[in-house]
Chains A and B, each alone.
Chain A
Amino acid sequence: MKKVIMGTETAALAAVLARVQVVAAYPITPQTVTVEELSDYIGKGELDAEYITVESEHSAMAACVGASATGSRAFTATSSQGLALMHEMLHHAAGGRLPIVMLNANRALSPPWNLYCDHTDSLSQRDTGWIQYYCCDVQDVMDSTFIAYRVAEKVMLPVMINLDGFYLTHTSEIIDVPDQEEVDRYLPPYDPADKVDVDNPSTYGCVCGADLFSSLKYRRQMETLAVEQAWQEASDEFAAQFGRSHAPVQGHNLDDAEVVIVTIGTAGGAAQLAADALRKQGVAAGSLNLAMVRPFPHQSFRRAVSGAKHLVVLDRDVSYGGEGIVAQEIKSCLYGKSSAQVHGFIAGVGGMDITEELLADMAREALGGQKQGLELGDSIWIKVLP
């Protein structure tokens, strides 16, 4: 069924179609509509789930941890400051191997206060062990939620679905809403091997000594690295059933591309247009939407950019004292394995729009054209005061 629907509404509807059983969430701009919609669905009896009202995001995640440990499909949604407040519990969810799915509306962290898009909130949680997926459009929000639960429940790790604040949370698009039956076919009920059970008591998240701690971490890293493949497979299976693909790495005209514009989130659309415009001017350009940042899709990424000479990387974030986080991740992925030059640009934060022209100009600068911004460290900052 076709429907005109906003990003936040889509996240709520996707949770309904995924038949989540427990929702514990605290409202925060620009995620609020998702929480409101979900409480409506549950209140009206359209979703058979428990809505746990909480006093903070820390408690929201704690409630999801408990719910998930009992074998329930748990969902929550947050943004920015809320995600930061959850930090401790994010480690608990991933370390506990609990397949929770969470929407995060990417928003700047204060101060100064700013409600608009910035990826620093989620990227600064990349070491918590969560799978991180960045949506490029509204359809992606719907579809990736189903893929997320399917992967999460297979590999027993939580997934953070990221939506660019306002660009995606508050944009309405025409999307295809699948039937419940079809979703059920793709996403069977969650039935874990281990769950809290009073008749078979066990301590969950128990103490572990030096004898097994390294081995447990090793196994978790092994199984986290395998997520790239698991997501790819789940995406392929989704494509076979629904005709839409949501792979960890989504390329556009990469086969012969010498310049590749790399983005995460909604800028992927503008990047495609910029690459197409550059092609018309005779530049062998392509674009790459890096949908998955954790685990970093090393294999797919290296393969996708194997022929590239210049990678133009957009960061809507910064690791203070380092550089743009995506650029850093890409350098780490390619080190010793590629001779491509990585050009890191920091732009599009705090409500600054990323346009096709801006991205094309960045690519031209990477190829030796006119300077677009101010160089600082290893990054070039766009649209900052001189």
Chain B
Amino acid sequence: MAKKQIDSIMQLPVMPLTIEDMTWNKTGTWRLLTPVQQDKTAPCRAACPLGQPVPQMIHQLAEGEPAAGLALLMAYNPMPGVTGRLCYHPCQAKCLRKELDQGIAIQSLEKSASQAEGAPALERRADTGKLVAVCGSGPAGLAAAYFLGLAGNTVTVLEPGQVAGGFLTQAKAGQLAPEVLAKEIERLAQVAGVQIKTQAAPNFLAGMDLVLVDESACAPDSAEAQAVSALAKGGPEPLVLSAEGGFKASQVAHALALGREAANQAQEALGLPAIFAQPELGPVATVDDLTLGFFAPAEASEQAQEEAARCLSCGTCNLCQQCALSCPDACCNLNEAGGTIEIDLYHCKGCGICSYECPRGALVMENQP
């Protein structure tokens, strides 16, 4: 809006107040420092062997959107229902909420997100026409198959045994029920378009563009390991996934990470672009980045949404809008469409109150126009 022209004394307001809209006054030209949203890495995420976006996932649970939380996890992890039960959860050890009262039950929340209804909306790349076989269906093999499937390849997992899952099938039923494992495998296969053949016979591999062998799926030199190796006979030289000493059930996240990395190697071997890239993450947030005074003590809860609401979202914007509340010039505003905070740089004077007020240290003042 243009500045209102005042031509006579009596057109002035009696009270000294702004007339109509002041947007004509582009106070952004006064700015020296500029607020920039610069998420730090939450310590839980930094500790996760899969680098999962933990606070973002928890935020979705708090918002009552578990399916969105699941989609965030499955971009990193094909089996969140398994890690949500078996993983040794180093994330929880690093939770900064402990500085205030009790840490967040992150693993329970991961499990909760994994139980979201429906298939998560993950994009599968266009068909590459490449045929890939993965011999052995341990978590590493399944992860490789999953990401290669998402990359648009036609992937078949060959499992010589009766049931897919490799060493996961040996997990205690109290920790991971067989039907839960089956559902997790079914879902990852569906999402990535992967075919899983159990009781698979050798000599299937003629015409394959690439073969992976998951040697980490079972104990080395066991009958199962030999059966898996036998499957690879007759195909091209295989890419072997192995881990010294194998994995314990609690190390499933490391097995999944191995498979995910193997998928990238396979893509390279196929002359295709990488399928998974960990985004560039900021420095790990510490308790000094938080303003604990903003957070009310809250009892831990068995109920996922309540527990999720306790998350401090360390170093990570969760759209709490404290910046919007604090800005004296109404320059920080929630962009409903994008679900981000937008800063009106035409009017932001660079006072820095938003950055000071951000309870989680996600807004920094940068020396830039």
Taking Cβ atoms with an 8 Å cutoff, the residues of A that contact B are 95-98, 156, 193-194, 202-206, 208, 212, 215-216, 218-219, 222-223
Contacts and interface: CB of A to CB of B under 8 A. Distances in A.
Chain B residues touching A, range: 10 to 19
B14 A202 contact: no
Nearest to B19: A202
Given A193-B14, A216-B12, 19 more contacts: A95-B16, A96-B16, A97-B15, A97-B16, A98-B15, A156-B15, A194-B13, A194-B14, A202-B17, A202-B18, A202-B19, A204-B17, A205-B17, A212-B6, A212-B12, A216-B16, A219-B10, A222-B9, A223-B14
Nearest to A223: B14
Contact of A206 (B10, B14, B17): B17
Contacts of A156: 14-15
B16 A204 contact: yes
A97 B22 CA distance: 21
A204 B13 CA distance: 11
A53 B213 CA distance: 78
Contact of B9 (A96, A193, A203, A219): A219
B14 A215 contact: no
Contacts of B17: 194, 202-206
Of residues B6, B14, B18, which shows the largest number of chain A Cβ atoms within 10 Å of its Cβ?
A: B14
Interface of B: 6, 9-10, 12-19, 22
Contacts, number: 42
A38 to B, nearest CB: 27
Nearest to B25: A207
A96 B12 contact: no
Contacts of B19: 202
A218 B6 CA distance: 15
Nearest to A155: B14
A203 B18 contact: yes
A346 B19 CA distance: 48
B20 to A, nearest CB: 8
Contacts of B15: 96-98, 156, 194, 204
Contacts of A193: 14
Contact of B18 (A98, A206, A216, A218): A206
B9 A215 contact: yes
A43 to B, nearest CB: 32
A203 B25 CA distance: 13
20 contacts: A95-B16, A96-B15, A97-B14, A156-B14, A194-B15, A202-B17, A203-B17, A203-B22, A205-B16, A206-B18, A208-B16, A215-B12, A216-B16, A218-B9, A219-B9, A219-B10, A219-B12, A219-B14, A222-B9, A223-B14
